[in-house]
Amino acid sequence: MTTRSLPTTLLSEIAALFKNSDDQNVSIKVGKDNNVKIFTAHSVILRARSPYFKVALSQS
């Protein structure tokens, strides 16, 4: 694998994570009463992309 192909390969592998729910370990419920939508996510992605989730999902 060349250095130039690494970003492309990494990006496609991360994109595959979004399509594969096997390792998603967080559920986020949005809405009220009978109008609730549940989103599943990878905690590692949430922590990397969001200061809020970095704190909320920390081990301590």
User: Which pair of structure tokens corresponds to residue 51?
Assistant: 């200061």
User: Which pair of structure tokens corresponds to residue 25?
Assistant: 């370990």
> What's the rounded Cα separation, in Å, for the pair 31 and 8?
36
19 or 35: whose pLDDT is higher?
35
- What integer pLDDT is reported at residue 53 of this predicted model? 96
Give the distance, in angstroms, between the CA of residue 3 and the centroid of all CA atoms in the same chain: 25
User: Which pair of structure tokens corresponds to residue 44?
Assistant: 């590692």
Q: Where are the domains of the chain?
A: 23-60
Instruction: Report in angstroms the alpha-carbon separations of 13 from 5, 21, 31, 36, 47.
Output: 12, 14, 31, 30, 18
pTM for the whole thing?
0.68
- What integer pLDDT is reported at residue 2 of this predicted model? 57
- What integer pLDDT is reported at residue 15 of this predicted model? 84
The amino acid at residue 20 is N
